[in-house]
């Protein structure tokens, strides 16, 4: 595991073009390696690497091997543009898997992927703003929009019998999208928002925001932000000030870093929503068994399934296109992801490659579920409810 992560980190900053042979095919991997979600990244790098390794062990991509070329967005819009430009114009990748955060995904898409005609598949970006991008059918994601997660979170909160909440959400594409959707759905279903504060990132103190949020007698504080930035600070400062004892968060807060910072006992009544995989999905078990056999642990971490699936889908689209022609790859993605076609699952590259060679349709069903893209490149999906369990999180419910 350590060796794999070290190699990936080097690739992220130095590029891997020197390692690629003439017949190899580069796959761009755009990740927020540094920045507010850095704690999420190592298992996601492993997931992408596992997909590439399996492809190379089972016949390779096109006429050679697949080579993952990493770009680090630094968790910022400008960093995303810079990294995507290098992937597109220096490394000349034919397709990009990523980015992860909504803001970095949208920035890279608008400035680079759309103008250069490169398909971009995000495994994790959830902002509703992506739905209406004028993207020439080039930008996809394999998790549901926050319009869906916000509605599901509202139901989870009310199902817990919580009738009054305070809400704070970070002022970016991710926070504003899910924050507004949650509040609208919660109020429509009969809940009361006693206080709502939109906050900025990268502040040392959120005590003034918390002072406003404590007014009104909320039963819990809903925090929609990243644990590695404002979200973690708000929870910690709430606990230190004795202001709130129960927290509700979304996927950005469902980070092991939060447990390390405030302790499991302080989160024993809290819960979190996050895009997840369907219950009892055999494709998920297949991936998790192979992942843990390769790396020893980590298959249960957030977005491992989706990152693997997005990387595998990117390579399937290239194989289906039969070349690194960006336009052909763009036309091929929907063909390999959606019905009709013979089912292909995680790790079944040799099967997929043979079916494509025979001119047959394939339909990839992944560890994260099925990916039948709508006209906007969106999918329906699943949202899980998670609670703290020791030094990690346990899923206790799945909602479709």
pLDDT in tens, 70-113: 999 999 999 999 999 999 999 999 999 999 999 999 999 999 99
**The length of the chain, given as a count of residues:** 400
- Asked if 219 and 163 touch (Cβ cutoff 8 Å), the reply is yes
Q: What is the CA radius of gyration of the chain?
A: 21
pLDDT value for 18: 41
pLDDT in tens, 63-76: 999 999 999 999 99
Mean pLDDT, the chain, rounded, equals: 93
Q: Indicate the pairing of strand 247-249 with strand 192-199.
A: unpaired
Torsion sign, CA atoms 286, 144, 130, 331 = positive
Does residue 394 surpass a pLDDT of 90?
Answer: yes
When pLDDT is cut at 50, 70 and 90, the band that residue 279 belongs to is: confident
Tokens of 363: 């339909």
Identify which has the larger pLDDT, 161 or 19.
161
Please report the pLDDT score of residue 6 as a whole number: 34
Question: pLDDT tens digits, residue range 308-356?
Answer: 999 999 999 999 999 999 999 999 999 999 999 999 999 999 999 999 9
pLDDT of residue 23: 86
180, 146 in Cβ contact below 8 A? no
pLDDT above 80 (res 11): no
The CA distance from 28 to 93, in Å, is 6
Total Cβ atoms within 10 A of residue 133:
17
> For position 20, what pLDDT does the model report?
52
Over residues 12-25, the mean pLDDT reads 56
Q: Given this model, what pLDDT does residue 400 score?
A: 79
**Rounded average pLDDT over 46-61:** 98
**DSSP assigned state of 263:** -
Which residue ranges form the domains of the chain, and what is each CATH number? 2-143+280-382 (3.40.50.2300), 146-269 (3.40.50.2300)
Helix extents (H) in 114-214 = 114-116, 146-159, 173-188, 207-213
Determine how many CB atoms are found less than 10 A away from the CB of residue 118.
24
Looking at residue 352, its pLDDT comes to: 98
Separate counts of helices (H) and strands (E) for the chain:
14, 15
Backbone phi and psi for residue 131, each to the nearest 5 degrees, phi listed first: -60, -40
CB-based contact 246:190 (threshold 8 Å): no
pLDDT of residue 381: 87
**Is the pLDDT confidence value at 7 over 50?**
no
> Which pLDDT does position 71 carry in this prediction?
98
Would the pLDDT of 5 be above 80?
Answer: no
For the residues 135-160, what does the mean pLDDT come to? Answer: 95
Q: Distance from CA of residue 356 to its chain's centroid?
A: 28
Q: Give percent of the chain above pLDDT 70.
A: 94
Q: What are phi and psi of 396, to 5 degrees?
A: -120, -10
């Amino acid at each position: 595991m350590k060796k794999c992560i070290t190699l990936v980190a080097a690739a992220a900053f130095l590029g891997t073009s020197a390692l690629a042979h003439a017949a190899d095919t580069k796959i761009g991997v755009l990740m927020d390696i540094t920045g507010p979600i850095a704690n999420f990244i190592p298992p996601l790098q492993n997931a992408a690497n596992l997909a590439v390794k399996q492809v190379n062990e089972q016949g390779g991509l096109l006429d050679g091997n697949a080579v993952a070329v990493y770009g680090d967005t630094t968790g910022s819009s400008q960093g995303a543009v810079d990294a995507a430009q290098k992937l597109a114009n220096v490394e000349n990748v034919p397709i990009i898997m990523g980015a992860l955060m909504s803001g970095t995904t949208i920035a890279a898409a608008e400035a680079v992927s759309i103008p250069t005609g490169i398909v971009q598949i995000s495994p994790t970006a959830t902002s509703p703003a992506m739905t209406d991008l004028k993207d020439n059918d080039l930008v996809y994601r394999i998790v549901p929009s926050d319009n869906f997660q916000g509605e599901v979170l509202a139901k989870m909160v009310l199902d817990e019998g919580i009738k009054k909440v305070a809400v704070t959400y970070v002022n970016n594409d991710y926070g504003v999208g899910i924050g507004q959707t949650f509040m609208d759905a919660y109020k429509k279903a009969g809940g009361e928002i006693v206080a709502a504060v939109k906050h900025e990132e990268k502040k040392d103190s959120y005590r003034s925001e918390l002072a406003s949020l404590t007014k009104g007698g909320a039963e819990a504080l809903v925090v929609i932000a990243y644990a590695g930035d404002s979200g973690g600070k708000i929870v910690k400062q709430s606990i230190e000030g004795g202001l709130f004892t129960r927290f509700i968060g979304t996927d950005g807060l469902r980070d092991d870093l939060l447990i390390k910072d405030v302790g499991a006992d302080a989160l024993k009544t809290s819960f979190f929503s996050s895009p997840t995989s369907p219950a009892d999905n055999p494709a998920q078990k297949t991936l998790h068994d192979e992942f843990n056999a390769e790396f020893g642990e980590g298959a249960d971490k957030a977005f491992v399934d989706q990152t693997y699936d997005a990387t595998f889908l990117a390579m399937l689209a290239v194989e289906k296109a039969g070349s690194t022609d960006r336009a052909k790859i763009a036309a091929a993605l929907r063909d390999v992801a959606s019905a009709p076609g013979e089912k292909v699952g995680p790790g079944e590259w040799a099967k997929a490659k043979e079916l494509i060679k025979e001119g047959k349709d394939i339909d990839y069903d992944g560890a994260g579920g099925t990916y039948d893209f709508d006209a906007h490149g969106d999918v329906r999906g699943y949202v899980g409810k998670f609670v703290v369990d020791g030094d990690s999180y346990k899923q206790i419910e799945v909602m479709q």
